Structure 1
Amino acid sequence: MAKGKYQEWLEPDKLLLLQAWARDGLTDEQIATNIGINRDTLYNWKKKYTDISDALKRGKAVIDIEVENALLKRALGYEYEEYMEEHTNDGWKTRKTTKQVIPDVTAQIFWLKNRRPDLWRDKRDLEMSGNINNPFEGVSTADIKKLIQNE
């Protein structure tokens, strides 16, 4: 009996390869192409075989965390050290300089809108209840015209 293609992808080395592709940012469609199957088949494998699903989740989680950390670092600003070689009378020397990257307001806005949408989203849902007092309630249009003309 022929072995199904999915079985080879349940082997530890193939699961590691799936995880690496996901970590490298490949989409499910690109991963399916690399395997030699269509996207729907990969979706079915993910539903049926938890090892395949877990390998892809682990790979994606690693890169998601790295991106989150980079966004947070950019939002808060950071310092880094830069090393430069310079020629002096005594020969070449390495000079260390500490540089600063200022906090990025765009990254801060993006972070807050996504992490705290209840406080930072652009559109707010306001609910109003009760009656609005209408000073012209019960007054006809003709009466309003008379009032305006008499002023």
Structure 2
Amino acid sequence: MAENGKYKDWINDEGLLKIEGWARDGLTDKEIAYNIGITQATFYCWLRKYKKFKDAVKNGKEVVDRKTENALLKRALGYEYEEITKTEQNGKEIIKTVTKHIPPDVTAIIFWLKNRKPKQWRDVNKLEIDKPVQIEQSTQIDLSKLTKDEILNITREAFKND
């Protein structure tokens, strides 16, 4: 089977390390498959069939996923960092350290909360009503397409019950 032959080229330590590295670097499954020289369908087949292959992809992705989660959380909470500037004054080098503050990012906060606590923070809220409610339906009519008589009839019908 040709697929098994090609797979064996990647199951060794060097091949698995490359695959894990590509996943860690953020390459998509399609891009990793291209680098290996297989189709995306074959890539998914290998994930199901070969544990070492699956583990290499999974381990690489876990690292970058964790780094991304940490970066998102850092942006959501805000952070401080030190900025070092070097200037020269009267022939002397002056090194100045300034602490910079990055405030919390509202977009990152919203994204974090919607994904971590969807029941409390999703955009859609459910309203449960335990007794019957009468709902009035309004209809908009384009009066420009109606005759004068049709408009009068609609008006009469609308105010007939008042």
TM-score bin (small chain): 0.7 to 0.9
Q: Give TM-score, length-normalised by structure 1.
A: 0.83
RMSD over aligned Cα atoms: 2.2
Does residue 66 of structure 2 align to residue 76 of structure 1? no
- Give the Cα–Cα distance (whole angstroms) in 2 for the partners of residues 73 and 52 of structure 1: 32
Query: Which amino acid is the alignment partner of residue 117 of structure 2?
Result: R
Partner of 1:29: 30
Quote the offset at 1:25 in angstroms. Answer: 0.8
Does residue 64 of structure 2 align to residue 63 of structure 1? yes
- Give the Cα–Cα distance (whole angstroms) in 2 for the partners of residues 110 and 20 of structure 1: 28
Q: Give TM-score, length-normalised by structure 2.
A: 0.78
Deviations 1:102-127 (CA, angstroms, capped at 9, x unpaired): 11111101110111100000002333
- Give the Cα–Cα distance (whole angstroms) in 2 for the partners of residues 74 and 7 of structure 1: 43
Quote the offset at 1:133 in angstroms. Answer: 7.8
| SS state at 1:85 partner | strand
Unaligned runs of 5+ in 2: 136-159
Query: Which amino acid is the alignment partner of residue 24 of structure 2?
Result: R
Unaligned runs of 5+ in 1: 135-143
Query: Which amino acid is the alignment partner of residue 122 of structure 2?
Result: R
Partner of 2:105: 104
- Give the length in aligned residue pairs: 138
Quote the offset at 1:93 in angstroms. Answer: 1.6
Query: Which amino acid is the alignment partner of residue 40 of structure 2?
Result: R
Deviations 1:61-89 (CA, angstroms, capped at 9, x unpaired): 10011111111101111000000111223
| SS state at 1:4 partner | helix
Quote the offset at 1:90 in angstroms. Answer: 5.8
Partner of 2:156: none
- Give the Cα–Cα distance (whole angstroms) in 2 for the partners of residues 96 and 37 of structure 1: 51
Aligned 1:99-138 pairs, distance under 5 A: 99-132=100-133
- Give the Cα–Cα distance (whole angstroms) in 1 for the partners of residues 84 and 40 of structure 2: 47
